[in-house]
Amino acid sequence: MQQSLRTTLPMARLETTRLPAVAEIELALINADFPTGPLPQEVMQAVIAEPAYWAFCWGSGLALARFLLDEPSWVQGKVVVDLGSGSGVAGIAAAMAGAAQVIACDTDPFARQATTVNAAINQVTLEVTEQLPPLCDVLLMADVLYNQRNLPLLQLAQQHARQVLVADSRVTTLPDPSYVELTTIDALTYPNLGEFDEFATAHLFHWRG
C-alpha cells in the first residue's frame, strides 16, 4: 500500500489515525501533514491517472460510519455490502454496529487491500471482493457518485439489495425519485488537504425495495 501510494505521491506516507467524529475507528491513511500546495506537474498527472481514493476517508464515508454507529438497527444482524469501499470505513462501521456479514466491493485492487488492512486494524471481519454479491439486505454507497458515469450504480444497487443507503457530499439530489433523503450530516474528508470544504455536508438517501 505504501509503495502504491508513493507511485502517485512520492512524498506521502501512510499513518494509522483515529477518525475525527468517529473515534471508534482507526484507519491507515495518507499523512495528515501532507503539503497542500500545488503539486508538480508529473505528480498531478500520476494522481489523475491513478487516484489513491483509498488513502483518504471521504466525508460521506465518515458521515455514513457515524450514522450506522449511532443507529445500529439499520445493519444489525443483516448482510451488508459496502460498494466502493475505499478505505473500508462504512463497512467497518457496519461490522462494529453488529452486521451479521459485511462484504466490501471495490474495483481498485489497492482499495481492496486497504479495506483488508483497515478491517484488521479495527479487529472486524470483512469479506473483500471485486464483484457485487447477488443479493444483500443493505447496500452502502459512500462517495461513489463523484463521477457522473457512476450514476447507473443507483439502479445496479437496487438489483442487488433489499435496501440501499447512499451518502454523498457532491450530489445533493438523486436522479431516481425512489431514493428518499433521510438526513444530512456535516463531515469533512480526512485528512483534509485543503480543497474539500465545499463538500462539508453529506446527504443520506434511502431506498427500500
Applying CB under 6 A, which residues contact ligand SAM? 53-54, 57-58, 60-61, 83-87, 89-90, 105-108, 111, 142-144, 146, 150, 153
Q: Smallest distance from the beta carbon of 64 to ligand SAM, in angstroms?
A: 7
Identify which of residues 2 and 40 has a Cβ nearer to ligand SAM in the complex: 2
Q: Smallest distance from the beta carbon of 101 to ligand SAM, in angstroms?
A: 18
CA distance 85 to 83: 5
Please check whether residue 88 is in contact with residue 109, taking contact to mean a CB–CB distance below 8 angstroms: no
Inter-axis angle of helices 89-96 and 59-70, to 10 degrees?
Answer: 10
Q: Which of 59, 143, 77 is nearest to 106 (CA)?
A: 143
Identify which of residues 79 and 114 has a Cβ nearer to ligand SAM in the complex: 114
Q: Smallest distance from the beta carbon of 125 to ligand SAM, in angstroms?
A: 18
CA distance 31 to 2: 11
Peptide bond preceding 191 in cis form (omega within 30 of 0):
yes
Identify which of residues 79 and 153 has a Cβ nearer to ligand SAM in the complex: 153
Identify which of residues 40 and 120 has a Cβ nearer to ligand SAM in the complex: 120
Q: Which of 69, 63, 59, 65 is nearest to 88 (CA)?
A: 65
Residue 94 cell numbers, joined: 457496519
Identify which of residues 78 and 112 has a Cβ nearer to ligand SAM in the complex: 112
Helices and strands, number each (H, E), in the chain: 6, 9
Q: Smallest distance from the beta carbon of 115 to ligand SAM, in angstroms?
A: 9
Q: Smallest distance from the beta carbon of 150 to ligand SAM, in angstroms?
A: 5
Identify which of residues 138 and 153 has a Cβ nearer to ligand SAM in the complex: 153
Q: List Cα–Cα distances, 126 to 63, 120, 167, 199, in angstroms.
A: 20, 9, 20, 28
Q: Smallest distance from the beta carbon of 209 to ligand SAM, in angstroms?
A: 20
